[in-house]
Amino acid sequence: MRGRCRDAEQLAGGTLTVEWRIRVYRPGDETAVSQLAASCFDEALRPYYEEDGCRLFFAYIAPGEIAARQSHGAQLFLAETAEGALAGFLEMRHFCHISMLFTGKAFRRMGVARKLIDRVTPLAVRMHGKDFGGLTLLAVPGAVSVYRKLGFLEDGPEQKACGVRFVPMRRRDGDETAGAGEHDGKIR
């Protein structure tokens, strides 16, 4: 049944089909984006970060830093419910590297991340044309399986830098079926 989103419990219970509204950043969005990133970090990412990495992350998601990046060429896309509740967001640099992709806890496993990636992929292809090498990101080890389901493949071994453990990943145009389990998860 298609309807308006009334609350997260109703969404999580699967009683509604939601059509996510994807829009670009507007000045003033940075506080909500920062709060969602901080919440997701505390729920799932903190174990992969040392103290230095935590400091860097929280500096990166400070509202002023988010706003500054948008005025210097970063691209931030927000997924919202019909009522305007922030369900998730994706930030990318140079229309090719995803620097942040977060979905609010109440909206996970509902297609928000896929919708955001599906929205930015054609933009990236248009921006880079035949030189497009795919979308890239650095995934914490615990998120690798989620990104595989979204069509990303490992593009190198697990690494550690600045107090953060991560796995470089890439989704080439046409890799959308990569999460089907018919591969070993490595880019060839």
CATH of the domain at 118: 3.40.630.30
Could you tell me whether strands 135-139 and 97-103 are parallel, antiparallel, or unpaired per DSSP bridges? parallel
- Residue pLDDT, tens place only, 118-154: 999 999 989 888 888 899 999 999 999 999 999 999 9
Can you give the residue range of the structural domain that contains 25?
19-133
pLDDT of residue 180: 38
Give domain status of residue 25, yes or no.
Answer: yes
Give domain status of residue 149, yes or no.
Answer: no
Distance (Å) of CA 169 to CA 62, 103, 105, 145, 156? 25, 19, 23, 11, 7
Give residue 124's Cα distance to chain centre: 15
Calculate mean pLDDT across residues 66-70.
97
Nearest to 94 by CA among 56, 141, 128, 59: 128
Give domain status of residue 153, yes or no.
Answer: no
Number of domains in the chain: 1
Give domain status of residue 123, yes or no.
Answer: yes
Give domain status of residue 139, yes or no.
Answer: no
Burial of 184 (0-12, 13-18, 19+ CB in 10 A): exposed
For the chain, the straight-line distance linking the first and the last C-alpha, in angstroms and rounded, comes to: 42
Give domain status of residue 156, yes or no.
Answer: no
- Residue pLDDT, tens place only, 41-50: 999 899 999 9
